[in-house]
Structures are given as C-alpha cells and as structure tokens.
Amino acid sequence: MLQVSNLKTSFRTPEGIVKAVDSIDISLRKREKVGLIGETGCGKTVFGMSVVRLLPHNTSISGKVSYKGKDLMTVPESHMQNIRGSEISFILQNPSVSLNPLMRVGGQIEEAVRKGKNLSAQESRKETLRLLKEVNFQDPEYIMNRYPHELSGGMKQRVMIAIGIASEPDLIIADEPTKALDKGNKKEILSLLSDTAERSSMIMITHDLAAASELCDRILVMYDGEIVEDGPCDEILSDPLHPYTIAFIKAHPKNGCKAIPGSSPSLIDLPSGCRFHPRCPDACAKCRTNHPDLSSGHSHHRKNRCHCH
C-alpha cells in the first residue's frame, strides 16, 4: 500500500547541503507495522515528513512515494491536504509544540474529526468524546475543556493520538510517540496505539527499541540518512547483523548501557565508504572506500548494508 523508492531529501543551508534522507526504499503492506529506529539526527522525522510532503522551502526531494497506486510526489497540494487529513495521519513528535497552546484540546480534536467529513457540531462533539474515551480518559467532558498546558506529558500524547486516529486513517506515521514518558505512560501509549491502530498500517519512528519491538512486525534501522538493516522485529533484536544495530542494542541500559565510540558524522560531510566505518569495531580496508549496498544475504527476508557481516 505504500512504496517508497529511492527517496532523497536534502536541505540547502549556509553550511552546505544536508543530506537528511539518502536513497531510502521502503514498502509497507496493509496493516503492517514497521519501526524506524536510529539515533537523533539520522533523518527519521525528515523521512516521515517527506512521505506526507510537509517540508520547508529549502528542501529538495526526489524519488518516488507511491500510496495505493498514487504518486504522492506529483499529486497537487490540494489533493495532498485531503490525503493528509483523512488517509494518512502524522502524529507529530513533541506534543507540547504541536498542540495549539491557545485552544482547548476538545476543539483541536473536533477540527480533526470534521476534516473530510460533513458532521454537525453535535455529531463532531460526540465523536470527540468517544475518541477521548478511546484514549483512556475517564472524564472526557472535563478533558475537552482543558488547555494543553493543564495536561501532563502523557495526557498530551494521548490527545495527539486521539487527533491522529480521528479520521480513521489507513496509514499512521507516529513520530517518537513515547519519548520522555515514564514507564507507566509509555506502556499505556503503546497499548493504545496497538489497539486503535489495529486496522491501519503504521510507521513508528522511535529511538526506543523496546517500544518498537512491542508494536512492530518489522524494524528498519537508520544511520546517517540511510537504512542499514531491515528485518523482522524479533530476529533483529535477537540476532542483529549490522555492527551499528549491534552497538545500538548494547547501548540500552538493559543490555549494558555501552556507548558507541565517536559521534555520528555530519550529514553535510559524509564519510567515504560505509558511513559507520569510523565508529565500527570491525571496519576493514574495503569499508573505508566502498559504500556497501543494502542487500539480502542468506535469508531473503533480511537486508543488511555491510561488507563484513
């Protein structure tokens, strides 16, 4: 239902061209849920924004995004707006920024409910109350009349989800839905997402492997603007192939909290060869000069971008 091929997104900046997304290919089946993981700055949000064409003016974008047979790169903006409001919903990172601080949350949900539908005020209010119940608010009438700043981080995130699912979208792109939430809240958001998004496809953007593994069928690991590993969730977690995936898993407090040496390179001056080679414990001469492809080795359902593993 979603097929992204050779997607490249870059920004012109005074410092140079930032290649935030570089040749990404992803295909997503109906109801399939994939996790896009990788450290901050590797291009996850830009990827999501590229799919729904929500990018600033200094952007140049190429490649193909085909959604149910339509090429989203070429449909007119007015049509794209309809798709964004009804078929594809983007649950934005950081609810304190994306919720309107001057508007009661009920009004913000109603706005999303009305999009693409012809509902009376009464019907949309009813639907808003239902959505608030669906995201576990016991007292929807009370919550409706709150301003965002009167709600906690976890509550705001649930409001964001209510907005995200209001139009019953076919595809949900959720950007860091559990970021900075504590354990209880995180659990609640994850189970909410898995219940409410049951009939939708989902791309969950996160740097939290545990969260991705609870919800997703497949995981894509992103490093420096490109996908370095792609495979079923449980296999990636139990038997990661790419050295970056291995290091990323070991950095989790449950697995030793080991830091990856160095820091991720700038997206302006990408290293030659494999982008991970300056930080890779196993890098060889070939890794320093030749850029590896994302290829399937012994098993066709897994892909890896590495010369050595």
Partner 1 sequence: MSLPLIEVKNLTKVYHSGLFKREVKVAVHDVSFTLHTGETLGLIGESGSGKTTIGRLVLRLIDPTSGRISYKGRDITHVSRKEMRPLRRDMQIIFQDPESSLNPKMRIYQIIEEPLLLYTELSPKERDEKIRSMVSYIGLTEEYLGRYPYQLSGGQNQRIVLARILILEPEFLVADEPTASLDVSVQAQIIEILKRWKQEHTLSILFISHDEDLVKTLCDRVIQIHDGRIQDLQDRNTS
Ligand X SMILES: Nc1ncnc2c1ncn2[C@@H]1O[C@H](COP(=O)(O)OP(=O)(O)O)[C@@H](O)[C@H]1O
CB within 8 A of 300, min separation 6: which ones?
none
Residue 257 touches partner 1, criterion: CB under 8 A: yes
Q: Which does 43 bind (CB under 5 to 8 A by kind): Mg ion, ligand X, partner 1, none?
A: ligand X
The count of other CB atoms within 10 Å of the CB of residue 149 is 10
The count of other CB atoms within 10 Å of the CB of residue 294 is 18
Q: Which two tokens stand for residue 110?
A: 């109603």
User: Which helix (DSSP H) or strand (DSSP E) does residue 82 occupy?
Assistant: helix 77-86
Residue 256 touches partner 1, criterion: CB under 8 A: yes
Residue 178 touches Mg ion, criterion: CB under 5 A: no
Question: Reduced to 3 states, what is the DSSP secondary structure of residue 73?
Answer: coil
CB within 8 A of 79, min separation 6: which ones?
none
Phi, psi angle pair for 207, to nearest 5° = -110, 10
Strands 226-232 and 303-304, how do they pair? Answer: antiparallel
Residue 26 touches ligand X, criterion: CB under 6 A: no
Residue 41 touches ligand X, criterion: CB under 6 A: yes
Of 2, 7, 18, 204, the residue at the interface with ligand X (CB under 6 A) is: 18
Phi, psi angle pair for 275, to nearest 5° = -65, -20
Nearer to partner 1, 41 or 271 (CB): 41
Site for ligand X in 245-264 (CB under 6 A): none
Question: Reduced to 3 states, what is the DSSP secondary structure of residue 142?
Answer: helix
Residue 13 touches ligand X, criterion: CB under 6 A: yes
Shortest Å, Cβ 207 to partner 1:
4
Q: What is the DSSP letter of 26?
A: E
Of 11, 24, 33, 45, the residue at the interface with Mg ion (CB under 5 A) is: 45
Q: Which does 283 bind (CB under 5 to 8 A by kind): ligand X, partner 1, Mg ion, none?
A: none
CB within 8 A of 3, min separation 6: which ones?
26, 27, 28, 64, 65, 66, 67
Site for partner 1 in 133-162 (CB under 8 A): 152-154
CA distance linking residue 266 with residue 58, whole number of Å: 18
Site string (165-194) toward partner 1, x via CB under 8 A: --------------xxxxxxx---------
Q: Which two tokens stand for residue 143?
A: 């919550």
Residue 4 touches ligand X, criterion: CB under 6 A: no
Of 33, 44, 218, 279, the residue at the interface with ligand X (CB under 6 A) is: 44
Q: Which does 13 bind (CB under 5 to 8 A by kind): partner 1, ligand X, Mg ion, none?
A: ligand X
Q: What pairs with residue 175 in β-bridges?
A: 205
Nearer to partner 1, 172 or 247 (CB): 247
Residue 39 touches partner 1, criterion: CB under 8 A: yes
CB within 8 A of 229, min separation 6: which ones?
219, 220, 221, 236, 240, 241, 242, 244, 245, 302, 303, 304, 305
Site string (223-262) toward Mg ion, x via CB under 5 A: ----------------------------------------
Residue ranges binding ligand X (CB under 6 A): 11, 13, 18, 20, 38, 40-46, 56, 58, 267
Q: Interface with partner 1 by CB under 8 A: which residues?
A: 39-41, 152-154, 179-185, 207-209, 247-248, 251-254, 256-260, 263
